[in-house]
Amino acid sequence: MEKFKVDSKGFYGDFGGAYIPEILYDNVENLKNAYLEVLEDPSFQKEYHDLLRDYVGRPSPLYLAKRLSEKYGCKVYLKREDLNHTGAHKINNTIGQILLARRMGKTRIIAETGAGQHGVATATVCALMNMECIVYMGKTDVERQKLNVQKMEMLGATVVPVTSGNMTLKDATNEAIRDWCCNPSDTYYIIGSTLGPHPYPDMVARLQSVISEETRKQLLEKEGRETPDYLIACIGGGSNAAGMIYHYLDEPDVKILLAEAAGKGLDSGESAATIHLGRLGIIHGTKTLIMQSEDGQIEEPYSISAGLDYPGIGPLHAYLAEVGRAEVLAVTDDEAITAAFELTAIEGIIPAIESAHALGVLAQKKFKSDDVIVLCLSGRGDKDMETYVRIRENQRL
Ligand SMILES: Cc1ncc(COP(=O)(O)O)c(C=O)c1O
């Protein structure tokens, strides 16, 4: 991991760091000084792994998708994060961060959410730990992910619809940071992806790394080797991908394919393909690639998928793309939808729209018949049913 490890100032090459307002300095500094010690503490590890096993339902299965494999002429395994409690990988991170928040004496939890999966995962662990929970969510996302809003409210969280910008994940994150600035002493901000100021990207990647840790063992059992030929994951902020690749980063024979949301097409002006289209800048406390205008105004991203609709990308992923360790593919709304319906039809699994972008990679690349592929199926499609139904109805017209 040495080569791809964050440095002491929170950088991966030129990307990362902690660009924060003065008022948050103590908070971020305390977190930076505490997180490694807490995460590596045996009593934390025990509590975290016990909850992952008994509450989340880990290890998540590594499933050989036979019909999908036949279709693409290679061996495709799905890492079934969709089977976790709450329906996605996000809970791996929220369990870890709430245990950390409790150890740091915090009493109030805030979070941002796009697709609502991180919001639900945060509201869930707050119910579990009896802590106050406020979730910021863009109004556009509140409307397109209604089921998750209802779940958060039933779990006792306050969902605050955000009406600035184009009312999606970036705007929700702005509001969460504003709240944090107003309540720095009692509030812990559970960031939902490998984004934000150092130490968040590294901390979230470590908490999600259980995905690749399990994959190594499961693949050894099934294939007689721990390493696949390819890893595939979608990238919104980058947390499921970070988890999927974490324990493989130093093995160059394991090729990494990351899928970002191309929306209506890379040249359409309506996409969220940050690595393809972005330039270096600072967003939400980290230096990374950002979709921005000539004069540095952040451009509003677009994707059918609320969880990929973000104008930045985690600093680790920007770095992996820059140094060529990862290949980044742009997958459009249409390609993702086709892939979602295909998986449903031939494997009986309805994926989240975000995960469907990872599935879209299978049709873009040529694989050899003996290639072993592990694809992170980051979440299930329940929250996206309204979108899927609408598309099916339109197709019938
Ligand atoms: C199911 C699912 N997959 C992927 C993502 C993208 O986030 P990340 O890139 O942090 O994994 C989200 C975000 O909400 C999600 O809900």
Question: Distance, CA 378 to ligand 1 centroid (Å)?
Answer: 7
- Burial (CB < 10 A; 0-12, 13-18, 19+), residue 54, is exposed
Predicted confidence at residue 346, as pLDDT, reads: 98
Interatomic CA distance for residues 126 and 109, integer angstroms: 8
* Predicted confidence band of residue 191 (pLDDT cuts 50, 70, 90): very high
Q: Are strands 132-138 and 108-113 parallel, antiparallel or unpaired?
A: parallel
Predicted confidence (pLDDT) at residue 391 exceeds the cutoff of 90: yes
Under the banding of pLDDT at 50, 70 and 90, the label for residue 388 is: very high
- Which of 45-54, 251-260, 297-306 has the least mean pLDDT? 297-306
Note the pLDDT of residue 226: 98
User: What is the CA(381)–ligand 1 centre distance, in A?
Assistant: 12
The residue whose CA has the least distance to atom 4 of ligand 1 is: 354
Confidence at 183, pLDDT banded by 50, 70, 90: very high
Q: How many CB atoms sit inside 10 A of residue 397's CB?
A: 4
pLDDT the model gives residue 1: 53
pLDDT in tens, 353-387: 999 999 999 999 999 999 999 999 999 999 999 99
8 Å CB contact between 79 and 215: yes
Q: What is the mean pLDDT of residues 290-306?
A: 94
Q: The tokens of 228 are what?
A: 């696949």
- What is the share, in percent, of the chain residues with pLDDT greater than 90? 97
User: Per-residue confidence at 333, pLDDT binned at 50, 70, 90?
Assistant: very high
Q: Please tell me the residue having the least CA distance from ligand 1 atom 7.
A: 236
Nearest CA to ligand 1 atom 10: 239
Q: Give residue 78's pLDDT.
A: 99
Q: Band the pLDDT of 267: cuts 50, 70, 90.
A: very high
Same fold, 20-51+90-203 and 57-87+209-396: yes
125 within 8 A of 135, measured Cβ to Cβ: no
pLDDT reported for residue 144: 84
Q: Active-site residue numbers?
A: 90, 112, 378
Q: Whose CA is nearest to atom 1 of ligand 1?
A: 379
Q: Are 189 and 180 in contact (CB under 8 A)?
A: yes
Q: Which atom of ligand 1 is nearest to the CA of 379?
A: 1
Q: Name residue 16's beta-bridge partners.
A: 11, 287
Q: What is the pLDDT of residue 396?
A: 84
Element (H, E) at 102: helix 90-103
Q: Quick check: 93 and 55 in contact, CB under 8 A? A: no
Distance CA 188, CA 207 (A): 17
- Residues 60 and 84 sit within 8 Å (Cβ to Cβ): yes
How far does residue 224's CA lie from ligand 1's centre (Å)? 30
Instruction: Please say if the pLDDT value at position 228 is more than 70.
Output: yes
Query: Within 10 Å of residue 26's Cβ, how many Cβ atoms?
Result: 11
Kindly state the DSSP code that residue 81 receives in the 8-state scheme: G
Work out the pLDDT band at 209, boundaries 50, 70, 90.
very high
The CATH code of the domain at 20-51+90-203 is 3.40.50.1100
pLDDT surpassing 60 at residue 220: yes
For the residues 314-326, what does the mean pLDDT come to?
98
Please list every protein residue whose CB sits less than 6 Å from any atom of ligand 1.
88, 114-115, 117-118, 193, 234-240, 307-308, 352, 354-355, 378-379
pTM over 0.95: yes
How is domain 57-87+209-396 classified at the architecture level of CATH? Answer: 3-Layer(aba) Sandwich (3.40)
Is the predicted pLDDT of residue 2 greater than 90, yes or no?
A: no
Q: Which residue has the tokens 């972005």?
A: 278
Instruction: List the beta strands (DSSP E) in 246-353.
Output: 255-263, 279-283, 286-290, 326-332
Which pLDDT tens digit goes with each residue over 142-170? Answer: 998 899 999 999 999 999 999 999 899 99
Nearest to 388 by CA among 353, 363, 357: 353
Give the domain ranges of the chain: 20-51+90-203, 57-87+209-396
Average pLDDT, the chain: 97
Residues 6+ apart with CB under 8 A from 233: 240, 241, 244, 245, 257, 258, 259, 358, 375, 376, 378
| 134 alpha-carbon distance from chain centroid | 20
Q: Please report, rounded to a whole number, the percentage of residues in the chain having pLDDT higher than 70.
A: 99
Residue bearing tokens 């988890």? 243
Q: Is the pLDDT of residue 340 over 90?
A: yes
Q: Tell me the pairing of strands 62-64 and 75-80.
A: antiparallel
How many CB atoms are closer than 10 A to CB 130? 9
Task: Tell me if 285 sits within 8 A of 197, measured CB to CB.
Answer: yes
* pLDDT-derived band at 106, boundaries 50, 70, 90: very high
268-269-270-273 Cα dihedral, nearest 10 degrees: 90
